[in-house]
């Protein structure tokens, strides 16, 4: 079922996007909550008229989004995390963690605009997240996840010769 979003909805789309969702989700949640309209020909025409009237505002929003993308291109982020055996993380890294790391680096991006493949990251290494700041402005941002502490090796077992000398 195609709908037109009236608000930004995380993991679905931005305001004025036309998206396809399951009929029950649209009928039972999005439309009654006032988050969406059915994408009928009449509503699509109204959407086009609204977008035409907002062209100047949209141009400003696109310019602001492009400015943020330019900041992102200049910013490298490394997120430290607790790491277990191999490169597996204790816990995971998600879009809120990336948003906080970008804020520390001086770039303000809300977490709802960040889309990480699989929604969470559970291993160290380079990761690419899609940052969608406007319906016409998307950027694939690459960042690193590293261990926050050196890997601690398990203590070695005492040698048998040392154990015998201690008993004597």
Q: What three-state secondary structure class fits 106?
A: coil
- Terminus-to-terminus CA distance in the chain, angstroms? 82
pLDDT at 69 over 70: yes
As a whole number, the mean pLDDT across the chain is 81
Q: What tokens appear for 50 in the block? A: 């609204």
- Average pLDDT for 31-59: 88
What are the structural domain ranges in the chain?
Answer: 2-53, 65-147
Q: Domain 2-53 - what CATH class?
A: alpha beta
pLDDT at 103 over 80: yes
Chosen CATH of 65-147 out of 3.30.920.30, 1.10.1050.10, 3.10.430.100, 3.30.390.10: 3.10.430.100
Q: What pLDDT shows up at residue 36?
A: 92
- Average pLDDT for 81-94: 80
Q: Residues 37, 31: contact at Cβ < 8 Å?
A: yes
- Average pLDDT for 75-84: 82
Q: What three-state secondary structure class fits 142?
A: strand
- Average pLDDT for 118-131: 82
65 vs 33: CA distance, rounded Å: 28
Interval 11-32: pLDDT, tens: 788 888 889 999 999 999 999 9
């Amino acid at each position: 079922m195609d709908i037109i979003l009236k608000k930004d909805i995380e993991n679905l789309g931005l305001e004025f996007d036309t998206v396809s969702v399951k009929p029950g989700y649209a009928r039972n949640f999005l439309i009654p909550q006032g988050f969406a309209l059915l994408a009928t020909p009449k509503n699509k025409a109204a959407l086009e008229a609204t977008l035409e009237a907002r062209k100047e505002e949209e141009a400003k929003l696109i310019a602001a989004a492009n400015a943020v993308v330019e900041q992102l291109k200049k910013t490298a982020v490394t997120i430290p995390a607790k790491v277990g055996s191999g490169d597996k993380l204790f816990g995971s890294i998600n879009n809120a963690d990336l948003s906080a790391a970008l804020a520390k680096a001086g770039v303000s991006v809300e977490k709802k605009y960040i889309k990480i493949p699989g929604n969470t990251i559970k291993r160290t290494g380079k990761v690419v997240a899609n940052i969608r700041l406007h319906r016409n402005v998307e950027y694939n941002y690459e960042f690193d996840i590293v261990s926050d502490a050196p890997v601690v090796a398990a203590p070695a077992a005492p040698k048998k010769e040392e154990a015998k000398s201690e008993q004597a």
